[in-house]
Amino acid sequence: MRTLYIISVFLHILSVIFWLGGATFLSFVLIPSISKSQEYPALFEKIAKRYSGITWSLIFPLILITGYFNAYMRTGFFSPAKWIEVSYDTFLKFHIFFLIVLLSAVHDFWLGKKAVEHLKAGKSSPLRKASAWIGRINFVLGIIMLLLGIRIVRGW
């Protein structure tokens, strides 16, 4: 069981690196580097589709399953309602994660799609702004999850 726990924490951190690292790279390196080029709309759509596809099919399920198992190994309880008795941060993380998933769904399956259409049409629109803002809010929530993860393990 101990080995499984170590593997779970490893996969938890690795999947978080992909998701949060991917969002960071997109925002601070890729978009500023190519946003002035003519191919930007088509390139951005291709990259966003691939990142989103991997996130929904592999990364989000992996973060949830390993997070859930980590929480069980730390608290001894299967039920998230019981986690609050042992680790409020673990209970908090579980719920913030669903907010991240909800915002990502709005971003990836509705606003983001509309924003790319407007981007391709060369139109600036409130939907493009809203899509960018949801991305930023999710990034901040991801940083909060990172800090909560560190606090769960090390306390402060």
Residues forming the site for ligand HEM (CB under 6 A): 9, 12-13, 16, 20, 63-64, 67-68, 70-71, 74, 90, 93-94, 97, 100, 142, 145-146, 149-150, 152-153
Comparing CB distances to ligand HEM, the nearer of 6 and 42 is 6
> Under a CB-based contact definition with an 8 Å cutoff, are residues 137 and 103 in contact?
yes
Comparing CB distances to ligand HEM, the nearer of 67 and 135 is 67
Share of the chain residues as helix, strand and coil, in percent rounded to the nearest 5: 90, 0, 10
Measured from the CB of residue 84, what is the shortest distance to ligand HEM in angstroms?
A: 12
Comparing CB distances to ligand HEM, the nearer of 11 and 34 is 11
Comparing CB distances to ligand HEM, the nearer of 87 and 128 is 87
3-state DSSP assignment of residue 114? helix
- 22: nearest Cα among 46, 51, 57, 44: 51
Measured from the CB of residue 46, what is the shortest distance to ligand HEM in angstroms?
A: 24
Measured from the CB of residue 118, what is the shortest distance to ligand HEM in angstroms?
A: 28
The three-state DSSP-derived secondary structure of 24-75 is: HHHHHHHHHHHCCCCCHHHHHHHHHHHHHHHHHHHHHHHHHHHHHHHHHHHH
